[in-house]
Amino acid sequence: MENENLICTLGDYSRPSHESYRNTIELPEGNNVVPLRSDTIRLVQNECSFHVLRSEDSNQHLKDFLKLVDSLDHDVANRERTRMRLFKFSLRDQVRNWLEHLLAGSISTWEDLTTRFLAQFFSPGRTAKL
C-alpha cells in the first residue's frame, strides 16, 4: 500500500516532470527522418510566427509557413511529417496553448492540423480558406 499522506516540499514542486506531457500531434511514419536542427526551428520562429493578433491572418500564416518550410525540405516523401513537426514552433502564446491542450494524438495528418487551426483561428472578412 502506497503512503497516501506524502508530504511534498517546495523543492518537490520545482522539479521538472514529464508525467503530464501529452503530444497532441501523432506523426505519420517516415523514411530516413532527419532530426530538426535548432537553426531551422529558429528560422520558423523568427520568420513565421502566429500570435492571433487582430492584424494577423490565419490563412496567410499557413501560406507563409508552407513557403518557408517547403523551401527547406528536399525530402518529398517526408514533407507532411516535416510540416507537422515544425508547425508548433510557428505558434505563439494562446495559439500554442490551444494546440497543447487538444487531446493527445488527436492530430495525425497535415490536413487535420490545418483544418483545426483554421476552424479555431479563421476570422470572417479575411481571405478565404485555403
CA angle 33, 65, 34 (to 5 degrees): 10
pLDDT in tens, 30-67: 666 678 888 999 999 999 899 878 788 999 999 999 99
Decide: pTM greater than 0.75.
no
Q: Cβ of 25: how many Cβ atoms within 10 Å?
A: 21
Confidence of residue 124 (pLDDT cuts 50, 70, 90): low
